[in-house]
Structure 1
Amino acid sequence: MQLAKADGFDVAPDDINPAGAPHCKAIVRWALKGGCRAIFASFGLHKTFMQIELMRLIGRFAPGLRLIVIPLGVRHEFMAEADERFTGDCAVRLKFIRSNAEIDGDDAIYLTNYETILAGKIDLSRFIAATLDDGVMDTGQALTRFFQRNSEKAGDLTLFPHKEDEFWLWVHSWAVFLQSPADLGFPDDGYVLPELTVNWHEVPIDHSTAGYDRDGQGLLIRNTALGVTQASAAKRDSLPARIARMAELIAEDPDAHRVLWHDLEDERRAIEAAVPGVRSIYGSQSLELNEAAAIGFKDGRFKDLATKPEMSGAGNNFQKHCHWAIFVGIGFKFHDFIQAVHRIVRFGQHHACRIDIIYSEAEREVRRNLEGKWVEHDRLMARMAEIIRKYGLDGLPLDDVLSRSIGVARRVEKGEAFHIAHNDAVLEAQATASESVGEIITSIPFSNHYEYTASYNDFGHTDDNGHFWRQMDFLTPELLRILKPGRLACIHVKDRVLFGSVTGQGVPTVSPFHAEAIFHYLKHGFQYVGMITIATDVVKENNQTYRLTYSEMMKDATKMGVGCPEYVLLFRRPQSDLSRGYADEPVVHDKPLVIAADGSHERWTDGDRRAQVPDSGYTLARWQLDAHAFWPSSGDRLLTTDELVRLGPKPLRALFQKLSEDAIYDFQMHVKLGEELAARDALSKTYMTLDPPSKDGGIWTDVVRMRTLNGEQAFQNLEKHVCPLQFDIVDRLIDRYSNKGDVIYDPFGGLMTVPYRAILKGRRGQASELSETYFRDGLRYCQKAEAKMAVPSMFDLLGIEADLEAAE
């Protein structure tokens, strides 16, 4: 893990504006010394002062253009702060700009909005320093080191429980989370949050308007858990009831000042119709009108302000005249919600605060979601406060707390059909006999995309692709040495999506990791003999990354790439006799058996037309698919759209694939079918309903992505592998490129999927794994597979070939 470096400069305490509170002065010195730091201070702890002071001191000691980027409608807060606290020798000039043309020298601290930056109207390269007010950071390495990803939804990340402590300590190396000045040892006089009362108000909803689900089934009641579309419909239908409840609440204290939070424009218009004298902030307003409304409400010039959390939930301080907020509706965005709450619930508030939240009975799940996130938010804030109280700003002994191991104590476990080691991949390969492995099947780490263990031996503990391949330079020669001459190394890889916000390219791009892998293995003496493409679901990929969205395609098609398939790269160790094409020990397939006239079985020969025994050997048809990648057409037709739509999305998907394999592909018909499905709201947005068909044997479209050992891990509540290898891939490679009894080797064993499947396929499995947890679980799977092979099933005793996996 790369820890934050201190590459700023130091200032003396007397250099800092004396108008700042003690905790502000300490944090300003810490941030300047670090050079690149994050300040997560609680609401009302003077983050605005700290930002201005940071820019003032940078201008004094390292002159140049300085920029503060702020949300819409909050520049008045910075202007007021400068007038109040930056006077005399500490006076500053703040200037708000919307373009490069308005920059007039480096004696000012410039302010601008995020929208201006995103529109490219300001050249950021001209500035030597910047702060982001309520900004969003690059998640960078944190996502791959500490978080497990929801494979069905982009941005839905869960912190690995076993890495929680390490994560928060790592964050503390570059960020400060401050809940109170007392966390840093300063007096908290005047910094006590007000008492807060939260009232939930449920209103009824007309369930007769619940509508239909995606399959056309009528709904008895609304259920927002079905999705955002259902939630939006429920909000529209409950609007009159929610507005009526809001009016009842206002009538309890008509003269009080209130913020009326809402999400929809229809809600704003309904609020304006129901509340005399209300002022509103909304998106189509000019920036000047937006700020005039915010300043007027802040100064107590009118009683009621209607606005959205996404418009006014960040940066505005409304606590001077207001201590009551009514949420006329609720939504899924907790960040916006909690920011809106703290526009009044903050330090400097002298009254007890009241929050009223109105929702419909169909939104109970949304309420539970918000309450759960609120509890988790408070827990995490308390955790960070605990860390800063213990270590202070610069006291964290990171070398000790985040120490990494180098090497492991080698542990070997053996069975009749497996040999696995808890060891570094390079060291274990070096200990393996030359020319002893019949086939290598592995999914190599995808550069630094994942870090599997807290060890410097972990191949995921690399800085970038170049660093990763330099580490692989130690392993790949050993793999070539231990592989039998003429045999194959099957390397599973996938290209990586690089987000524009990280690369600075502005659009998502793709790192051609599979191409780098090809040239890496060629460099070390392998022969490249081909690539198998494993088709993936582009809709599910988009749900993970949001880089292929239909809405963005409509705005600018040049941003639209294609989905990222997976690949199995096929590399061959050259055979000893280069004058002949055969491996030193060829992989031999038996021809299928045919049924003789007397009922006995004989091996098939060319031209033999007798009935073949199913699954008794390698057939001519199979060879044609493997070698020539050709699937003959049956000439059957596609069903009509009406016939297909009535099946529903999931049966339709399976049928479409089957029919497409047998028919001549028609792109226009494919598009037309999808369009007619969409018109009937039967085109799934969570998975690919009509996968593009492929008749190429080199493209595998039917890999069952859920068939991994992670299913067993989840069932037993054990840690899941972050990048599991599917059974289908391993089984096909074993069947195609190895003989019975061969050693199948995986240097990155993980949960030992490769040796596990090798045992079940009548081979011997061998692997190494650095993670003790994965090794322990993988050992159990290998023992399980070996026991299964040793004990005949009832079907075996009856002479019936059983499907081992179906019986599991």
Structure 2
Amino acid sequence: MDYIEFLNEKRITAKSSGFEVNRDRLNPLLFDYQKDIVKWALKKGKAAIWSGTGTGKTNMELEFAKQVHIETGGNTLIVAPLAVAHQTVVEGRKFNYQVNICRKQEDVKTGINITNYEMIEHFDPSKFQAIILDESSILKSFTGKYRTLLIEMFKDTPYKLSASATPSPNDYMEIGNHAEFTGIMTRTEMLSTFFVHDAGDTGKWRLKGHAQDKFWEWIATWAVVLQKPSDLGYSDEGFILPELRIHEIIVESPKDPFVLIPKIAQTLQERRQARRDSLETRVAKVAEIVNSTDEQFVVWCDLNDESKALKNAIDKSVEVRGSDKPEHKIDTAMDFVDGKVENLVSKPSIFGFGMNWQHCNKMVFTGLSDSYEQYYQAIRRIYRYGQKREVDIYIVTSEAEGAVKDNIERKEKDAENMINEMVKHTQKILTEEIHGTTKETIGYYPTEKMKLPEWLKGVA
């Protein structure tokens, strides 16, 4: 074994276990970059697609499932958030995909099947050739039970795909969950290979200094990372977002006659109390905004009391709570798309992932939590590729809550910088793999010892 072979053996890569598919066999309605990503994922066999909202993850998932079914003759299963499953069926029809919604193994039909995360225990994993997780980052919102269940249930499934908006590059636990689910490497192995505990805090991990590039090189062997098509060398035509307008509205907090200057909440508990104290004022301001126009609105809240008050104060509104029956959640989501529901009142934890609502361009937050991801995902329900109009986002908070919006904006800037770094680190490798343009080089291996000419030997 020579030194080059030795180094290549030391490289940590995800080995391909899939099959080659002719690009012409893929759905002609897919964009070029979507076809190439699907082709790459099928060759890998086990892969992840981390792409920005509106870049067509659903269609890539469906094509992956369809091609596995064609190749193996076996059935495929997509797991998605509740209302997203029904939305996927509708989206699939536009691309001539037949998608069967099922809630248990007995409902499964030949071809592409889809269910929601809460029903996964009712299926036999041995009956499927492919498992696909839609909005896979939602697993962070589930208990460890669901994460472990999915990993264990489908550990022997031949083809796996997890799809999500670009995960936060510093959320290594999320990346580890994806790697373990797809069967690339366990989360424990990933951490021990590339990371060290940060400053003695075993709950925090940082990349080893010498492992920075190697970590992202490893990611690029099994995950596609992009925010827009040009990240992989394709045209961004049709993928330019309109203007996003953020309107911050701060309402007065209830006054204490014995306090001259209102106290600004510092702790999470104090912020929650400040939200409760200003509930009526904030709800009144949100209702004023929404009722002043006939346009559709998505109205987000975090507290049940807020939800109830908003429903009573906003004209032509429908409220969806976590305790509502699945049928009500699904019907309301679909009716909102069809225009039968004018104003939808709910929580980001219910509809904040996966919904395609770019028919609507108005949204209001009845206060903000400290979760940037929740805020980002909620906005991306309407501010996504395919949105044709300027988008207005209203954020209504009380003065006692402090600079919540500033905190979110700081996290947003940090996240954007991190995602750009993530794309930059994986861009070159992925572009070569997906386009199939890896440059071939011919190595030079001398077979004879070089001899110096006589005249050069005398030169000092």
Q: Which TM-score band applies after superposition, normalised by the shorter structure?
A: 0.7 to 0.9
Distance 1:142 1:231, change over 3 A: farther
- 1:149 and 1:157 in contact (8 A); partners too: yes
Runs of 5+ consecutive residues of structure 2 not aligned to the other structure: 1-10, 138-173, 178-186, 435-460
Call closer, same or farther: CA 1:147–1:16 in 2, change over 3 Å. Answer: farther
1:278 partnered with 2:294: no
Residues 616-673 of structure 1 deviation map (CA, whole Å, 9 limit, x = unaligned)? xxxxxxxxxxxxxxxxxxxxxxxxxxxxxxxxxxxxxxxxxxxxxxxxxxxxxxxxxx
Q: 1:236 to 1:129 in 2, by over 3 A?
A: same
Partner of 2:287: 247
Higher RCO structure, 1 or 2 (CA under 8 Å, sep 6+): 2
Q: Does 1:310 align with 2:315?
A: no
Taking structure 1 as the reference length, what is the TM-score of the superposition? 0.44
Give the Cα separation in 2 of the matches to 1:12 and 1:205. 63
CA contact (8 A) 1:146 1:159 kept: yes
Judging changes above 3 Å, is the alpha-carbon distance between structure 1 residues 375 and 205 closer, same or farther for their aligned structure 2 residues? same
Q: Is the 8 A contact 2:362 2:392 kept in 1?
A: yes
Q: Which residue of 1 aligns with 2:217?
A: 169
State the shift of 1:181 in Å: 1.6
1:8 aligns with 18
The equivalent residue for 1:238 is 278
Question: Post-superposition, which runs of at least 4 consecutive aligned residues in structure 1 deviate over 6 A?
Answer: 150-153
Q: CA deviation at 1:50?
A: 0.5
State the Cα distance separating 1:130 from its structure 2 match.
0.7
Q: State the match for 1:296 in structure 2.
A: 335
2:361/2:383 contact within 8 Å kept: yes
1-side partners of 2:252 and 2:207: how far apart?
37
Measure how far apart 1:110 and its partner are.
Answer: 1.3
Q: Is the 8 A contact 2:367 2:395 kept in 1?
A: yes
Query: By how many angstroms is 1:123 displaced?
Result: 2.4
SS of aligned partner of 1:332: coil
Q: Do 2:40 and 2:433's aligned partners in 1 also have CA atoms closer than 8 Å? A: no
* TM-score, length basis structure 2: 0.75
Contact kept? 1:177, 1:381, Cα under 8 Å: no
Aligned to 1:314, the other structure's residue is in SS state: coil
Q: Secondary structure at the match of 2:46?
A: coil
Q: Is the 8 A contact 2:76 2:128 kept in 1?
A: yes
> Equivalent residue for 1:326?
364
Within-5 A mapping of 1:123-202: 123-136=124-137, 138-139=176-177, 140=187, 141-144=189-192, 145-146=194-195, 148=197, 164-202=212-250
Which is higher, the Rg of structure 1 or of structure 2?
A: 1
Select which of 55, 63, 68 maps to 2:78: 68
C-alpha distance in structure 1 between counterparts of 2:73 and 2:417, whole Å = 41
Shift of 1:391: 3.4
| Percent identical | 33
**1:561 equivalent in structure 2:** none
CA deviation digits over 1:768-798, x for unaligned, max 9? Answer: xxxxxxxxxxxxxxxxxxxxxxxxxxxxxxx
Distance 1:152 1:383, change over 3 A: closer
Work out whether 1:267 is the aligned partner of 2:309. Answer: no
Q: Which amino acid aligns with 1:108?
A: G
> How many angstroms does 1:47 deviate by?
0.7
* Whole-Å separation in 2 of the counterparts to 1:79 and 1:373: 35
- Residue-pair matches, total: 375
**1:310 positional shift:** 1.1
Other-structure match for 1:226: 267
1:205 to 247, 253, 265: 253
1:253-305 deviation digits (Å, cap 9, x = unpaired): 41121110111111110111110110122212222211111111112223211
Question: Which residue of structure 2 aligns with residue 47 of structure 1?
Answer: 57
Conserved in 2, the CA contact under 8 Å of 1:207 and 1:221?
A: no
Question: Which residue is 2:112 aligned to?
Answer: 109
Paired letter, 1:295 = M
What letter is aligned with 1:255?
D
Q: Is the 8 A contact 2:232 2:430 kept in 1?
A: yes
Q: 1:324 to 1:142 in 2, by over 3 A?
A: farther
CA distance in 2 between counterparts of 1:318 and 1:103 reads 28
Q: Give the C-alpha shift of residue 36 in structure 1.
A: 1.2
Q: Secondary structure at the match of 1:54?
A: helix
Distance 1:302 1:249 in 2: 17
Quote how far apart the aligned CAs of 1:49 are: 0.5
Q: Is the 8 A contact 1:178 1:385 kept in 2?
A: yes
Amino acid at match of 2:227: Q
Partner residue, 2:406: 368
Query: Unaligned 5+ residue runs, structure 1?
Result: 87-91, 211-218, 397-808
2:394 corresponds to which of 340, 356, 364: 356
**Contact 2:220/2:430, CA 8 A, preserved across alignment:** no
Aligned to 1:3, the other structure's residue is in SS state coil
1:386 Cα deviation after fit: 2.9
Residue 157 to residue 197, structure 1, CA distance change in 2 (3 Å): farther
Other structure's SS at 2:369 match = coil
The 1-side partners of 2:195 and 2:313 are apart by 48
The answer to whether residue 418 in structure 2 is matched with residue 380 in structure 1 is yes
Q: CA deviation at 1:20?
A: 0.8
2:380 aligns with: 342
Measured after TM superposition, the shift of residue 165 of structure 1 is: 4.3
Against the structure 1 CA distance between its residues 150 and 318, is the aligned structure 2 distance closer, same or farther, given a 3 Å change threshold? farther
Counterpart contact for 1:30–1:393, Cα < 8 Å: no
The separation in 2 between residues aligned to 1:158 and 1:370, in whole angstroms, is: 23
Match of 1:122 in 2: 123
Mark the CA change 1:315 to 1:151 in structure 2 (over 3 Å): closer, same or farther: farther
Counterpart AA for 1:146: F
Cα distance change of structure 1 residues 368 and 158 upon mapping to structure 2, 3 Å threshold: farther
How far apart in 2 are the matches of 1:346 and 1:162?
A: 37
Seen in structure 2, the aligned counterparts of structure 1 residues 281 and 152 have a Cα distance that, compared at 3 Å, is farther
CA-CA distance at 1:21 after TM superposition: 0.9
Q: How far apart, CA to CA, are the structure 2 residues paired with 1:161 and 1:300?
A: 53
**1:301-700 alignment, distance < 5 Å:** 301-320=340-359, 322-395=360-433
User: What is the root-mean-square deviation of aligned Cα atoms in Å?
Assistant: 2.8
Give the C-alpha shift of residue 230 in structure 1: 2.7
Rate the CA distance shift 1:248–1:291 in 2: closer, same or farther, 3 A. Answer: same
More helix by percentage? 2
Instruction: Write the distance in 1 (CA, Å) between the matches of 2:220 and 2:257.
Output: 50
C-alpha spacing 1:29/1:191, structure 2 compared with 1 (3 Å): same
1:186 aligns to what SS in structure 2?
Answer: coil
Distance in 2 between residues matched to 1:186 and 1:237, nearest whole Å: 51
1:158 Cα shift?
A: 5.7
* Among 94, 100, 122, the residue aligned to 2:99: 94
Report Cα offsets for 1:385-430 as digits up to 9, x if no partner: 334543334449xxxxxxxxxxxxxxxxxxxxxxxxxxxxxxxxxx
Deviations 1:517-572 (A, max 9, x none): xxxxxxxxxxxxxxxxxxxxxxxxxxxxxxxxxxxxxxxxxxxxxxxxxxxxxxxx
